Amino acid sequence: MNPGATTYLLRCHLSLAQYEMPNLTIHVGKYSLIPLLTSSLHASPMSERSGILLVVSGPSGSGKTTLCHQLAKSGEVRYSISCTTRPPRPGEEDGKDYHFLTKEEFSRRLEAHDFLEHAVVHENLYGSLKSEVIAHLKQGIDVVMDIDIQGADQIRECPDPEIQRAFVDLFVMPPSEQELRTRLSGRGTDSEETIALRMSNALEEMRHWHRYSYRLLSSTRERDYGQFQALITAERLRVSRISGS
């Protein structure tokens, strides 16, 4: 083997040794080999990725909330818990599903500019706290938000460079109008009047899916989640998310 090849292989082995055992130093006589042979290889440390803000919208019954919770439960992302003035549904917990606020509390936080976005949905107030989002993004932690089309519009227009860089939006579309009606009726917690209102609002929301960068046409839970995971994986590979790019 020629001297050049020998030196190259030695560099590779020593570089790997230093990566696996960063405190390791090999000495030959009075010389330290690793600093001599690998200094050029480590001139540029590996860059870190910035966090992704995945904004997910879709009508009630589309399955968007289930997808967001499933992804967060897997440990892939941090779920941004919204504030709302609506009463809790059976099984919902304050601080886990939503931050349940009175209208007076919501108004105070709105005046203090605590919300990244806020909206009126089904006659109730909803908002996402800045503190639930920006701090995670700066640490490279991905955040998923389950919000309506009004809230998504506000985040698109947010001038904060951290938000603009992190922003990715997805609209989850139900497979059909009939399936959507079946899903809404199947909850068993809402009156016919409420279901009719939700159905009307859902059809209106579905008219705006083209505002989003991605659309997921709901099918089975397994297929939907597979596509959801694929989106977050692809976005993590964007060169623009690498620090220093």
Query: Is it the case that residue 85 has pLDDT exceeding 90?
Result: yes
Q: What are phi and psi of 237, to 5 degrees?
A: -90, -5
The closest alpha carbon to 127, from 141, 109, 112, belongs to 109
Higher pLDDT, 88 or 2: 88
pLDDT in tens, 168-188: 999 999 988 888 888 888 766
**Residue spans per domain, the chain:** 3-38, 53-81+140-241
Taking CA atoms, 90 is separated from 93, 97, 98, 121, 145, in Å, by 9, 11, 13, 19, 22
Kindly state the tokens that stand for 112. 């203090």
Residues in the chain: 245
What is the per-residue pLDDT for 185?
A: 83
**Which region among 19-33, 175-189, 205-219, 222-236 has the lowest average model confidence (pLDDT)?**
19-33
The CATH superfamily label for domain 53-81+140-241 reads: P-loop containing nucleotide triphosphate hydrolases (3.40.50.300)
Confidence of residue 106 (pLDDT cuts 50, 70, 90): very high
What is the per-residue pLDDT for 1?
A: 53
- Sheet containing 143-146: give its strands across: 78-79, 143-146, 53-57, 167-173, 214-217
What is the per-residue pLDDT for 244?
A: 62
Q: Name the region of 144 (left: φ>0; alpha: ψ -120 to 50; beta: rest).
A: beta
What is the per-residue pLDDT for 121?
A: 77
What is the per-residue pLDDT for 33?
A: 42
The closest alpha carbon to 117, from 64, 77, 158, belongs to 158
Confidence of residue 11 (pLDDT cuts 50, 70, 90): very low
What is the per-residue pLDDT for 187?
A: 65
Mean local confidence (pLDDT), 211-218: 96
Confidence of residue 97 (pLDDT cuts 50, 70, 90): confident
Confidence of residue 122 (pLDDT cuts 50, 70, 90): confident
**Most confident of the ranges 9-13, 118-122, 168-172, 196-200:** 168-172
Query: Is it the case that residue 148 has pLDDT exceeding 60?
Result: yes
What is the per-residue pLDDT for 34?
A: 41
The closest alpha carbon to 132, from 172, 85, 72, belongs to 72
Confidence of residue 20 (pLDDT cuts 50, 70, 90): very low
Kindly state the tokens that stand for 89. 């549904």
Query: Is it the case that residue 103 has pLDDT exceeding 50?
Result: yes
Could you tell me whether strands 27-28 and 31-32 are parallel, antiparallel, or unpaired per DSSP bridges?
Answer: antiparallel
Higher pLDDT, 60 or 235: 235
